[in-house]
Amino acid sequence: MRIAANSFVAPNGFGINFRSPDVVPSEVRGGNSFSGSPASELVRLRSAVIHLKKAIDSFSGSGPLRSTPTTGSSGTQWRAFEVLSADPVMLDPLPATAATLTSTEQINTTPTSYSTRGPEFSGGTTSQATLSGIYDGSNGTDTLTFSIVAAGGLGVNKELEVRDGQGDLVDQFALPTFSQDISLEMSNGLTLDLSAGSFEVGDSFDVDVDDSIGESPRPQNPFDGIREQSPWLESGFEISDGQFEINGVSIAVSSDDSLDAVLQRIGESGAGVQAQFDAATERVVLTHQTLGAEPTIALGADTSGFLAAFKLNDAVAVGGTDEVPGQRRLLEDVEAFSTVRSGSFSVNASVVAVDIETDSLSQVIDRINFSDAGVQSGLNFASQFSIRSSDPLQALHLGSDSSGLLDALGIPEGTFEPIEQVVSRTQGVTPGRRTSRAFASQLRQLAEGLNRLYAGVDEGGFEGGYADRLRSTIGQAIASVADGESFRIGASLRLSLNSAGSQVMRVSDGSQLARSVRENADVFNAVFFGSEGLVNNLGEIASQAIAELEAVLSLPGGIVNQRA
């Protein structure tokens, strides 16, 4: 039904502000409610709505659910007792991890250190001092004082003395009488370079040396930096202009780059890798931007010396991992099973072993189901642990739980007898098995259609104003029958607008759903059939959306005769 103000109203009164066909998408002609949706996206959306409409139309021949009369006035039916956990079993998955490559060792493994490479003389001395080399530890951990003193002798009038913290002489050097660059080799492995300039008697500087704490790199300093701008790379490594490869992508390196600059360049490249300097371990860590076991990091040819200087030539590789569902995690790693211990429990005449170091809940469930106990177990649609005898006439015995797993699951020990039910066969209200199985299949098709419309963009879903309004109207239809934003029918069906991800409608698999249809026929009828039911309302919404999409796609400049 079309009404004024370009709004569609479903039979129960909720509506969506669809635009009239005389307005086209902004990508086709001007902006409107279709803005942000390219024509190709609208074609995809139209296909999804047609898929939903077909699922809705499949209900026309099956509802409302009707009883299947049989002869006789009444009878007895036996049903196996189903033992359920007291609460849903909430098991957090083990998150996926990303592949990494890490420096084989610290970037600078020198075991000793000194406080500065650019000391400054006090007073009026103009010569600039630069320290380099590896401290050999011969002066222990101490403070060395470098002082200019007066001295006698032909052609020499000043000397540089180096004394330790106790005032003992470490080194003594004659200083030139005229300005020139000089290099002084100290007895402790260090080299002191003095630039051309003047020396004033009494000027000095201090340098701390340490024989047990190693040098730390300065990731912010340029590779060719000197004195206080030194990168403090390990002696023997130099970085020059060049490049190296990560995952086939070339990363340019200049001698005046810093480690921080190159790591940022890696992250901004198309290599799919993030890079960082771990100050705690003094290593470079490369991490793939995509989680999972498949993505890898491969380093290629290096003409700059970067990979060698930062110990990445033989980097330590750790592969990524895919997410592990909570049900498949080892019992000892799951917080909900912190009280469980290795042991066993009995199911009927079978003993089920539990090893928390090697078993997951899935493995224990498989062990139960493939045993001779004659039972069916697992997590149902509501995430409750369920166990019942396969034979409706067989009692269920649970006990002798030395592992504590049954207790952790909220499953009581004991004997559970089959349940006897008296049913009316001439005036029964439940549908027959064929009808319930067919209806369950139709529910699964409807769930697939709805979930496709609500899927996230990364799951192939839809975005844009039109898709948002369509979902909003569908949500109103659900809320009208749910008296809120979600509802469930037993453990077999749940409709929830607050559901995480794309699973807006979830239905259980196999016979459980068909059995629920038979046991809850009146509830299913109330929700899905009648003038206010979902079948009628969703059908109207889907039909209107298809008409709107086909109209806008067939306009001049649009896409003509596109069919799903």
pLDDT, position 272 = 94
pLDDT, position 37 = 58
pLDDT, position 490 = 62
Confidence at 403, pLDDT banded by 50, 70, 90: very high
Distance CA 442, CA 415 (A): 37
Confidence at 27, pLDDT banded by 50, 70, 90: very low
Strands 350-354 and 375-379: unpaired
101 token code pair: 């490559």
More confidently predicted of 345 and 540? 345
User: What rounded mean pLDDT belongs to the chain?
Assistant: 81
Residue 470 has pLDDT above 90, yes or no: no
Residue 32 has pLDDT above 70, yes or no: no
Cβ neighbours of residue 416 under 8 Å, at least 6 residues apart? 81, 83, 395, 396, 397, 398
pLDDT-wise least confident of 353-367, 420-434, 511-525: 420-434
Residue 563 has pLDDT above 60, yes or no: no
For 73-104, write each residue's pLDDT tens digit: 455 566 778 888 878 888 888 899 999 999 99
Confidence at 57, pLDDT banded by 50, 70, 90: confident
pLDDT, position 224 = 93
E strand or H helix at 7? strand 7-9
Confidence at 55, pLDDT banded by 50, 70, 90: confident
**Directed axis angle between helix 39-57 and helix 433-454, to 10°?**
160
Residue 12 has pLDDT above 60, yes or no: no
Q: Please, what is the end-to-end C-alpha distance for the chain in angstroms?
A: 24
185 token code pair: 């080799």
For 168-209, write each residue's pLDDT tens digit: 999 999 998 888 999 999 999 999 999 999 999 999 999 999
Contact at 8 Å (CB) between 382 and 86? no
Of 206, 205, 203, nearest to 148 (Cα)? 203
39 token code pair: 């024509």
Distance CA 473, CA 471 (A): 5
44 token code pair: 């995809």
pLDDT, position 75 = 54
Helix, coil or strand: residue 448: helix
pLDDT-wise least confident of 8-17, 211-220, 528-537: 8-17
Span 50-62, average pLDDT = 80
Q: What is the number of other CB atoms lying within 10 angstroms of the CB of residue 480?
A: 16
pLDDT, position 497 = 63
Contact at 8 Å (CB) between 512 and 33? no
Helix, coil or strand: residue 125: coil
More confidently predicted of 40 and 121? 121
> In the chain, pLDDT over 70 holds for what percent of residues?
80
Cβ neighbours of residue 506 under 8 Å, at least 6 residues apart? 381, 447, 493, 494, 496, 499
Helix, coil or strand: residue 493: strand
Residue 422 has pLDDT above 60, yes or no: no
More confidently predicted of 442 and 339? 339
Residue 36 has pLDDT above 90, yes or no: no
pLDDT, position 115 = 94
Distance CA 71, CA 428 (A): 11
For 302-326, write each residue's pLDDT tens digit: 999 999 999 999 999 999 998 888 8
Burial of 1 (0-12, 13-18, 19+ CB in 10 A): exposed
Of 556, 557, 554, nearest to 46 (Cα)? 554
Residue 525 has pLDDT above 60, yes or no: yes
For 159-168, write each residue's pLDDT tens digit: 999 999 999 9
